[in-house]
Amino acid sequence: MMRQTINYFLSLMSFLIIFTSCSSAPVQTSESQLVYTYSKLKLLDLDQMGEIIQDKLRRFKKSGRETLIVEAISISLSRPNDDSVAEKLLDTIRHTIEAPVVWESSLGSVVQTSIDQLKNETVAPEDQVTYLIILENLVSEFKPQFIKQYQSPKFETRTIEKIAGAQIEVSESATAESRLNLMREQLSPSTLAQSLIIDRELKLNPKK
Q: Is residue 13's pLDDT more than 90?
A: no
pLDDT digits (tens, 9 = 90+) for 104-153: 999 999 999 999 999 998 999 999 999 999 999 999 999 999 988 877 77
Residues 6+ apart with CB under 8 A from 53: 72, 75, 76, 89, 92, 93
The sign of the CA dihedral 35, 41, 43, 45 is: positive
In one letter, which amino acid is 206?
P
Query: In this structure, what are the phi and psi dihedrals at residue 158, rounded to the nearest 5 degrees?
Result: -60, -35
- CA 24 to each of CA 17, 19, 27, 117, 172: distance values in angstroms, whole numbers, following the listed order: 11, 9, 9, 23, 15
Residue type, 116: D
Give yes or no for residue 164 having a pLDDT over 50.
Answer: yes
The per-residue pLDDT for 121 is 87
* pLDDT(157) > 50: yes
Which pLDDT score is estimated for 206? 73
The Cα-based distances of 150 to 104, 136, 147, 162, 184 in angstroms read: 19, 21, 6, 16, 32
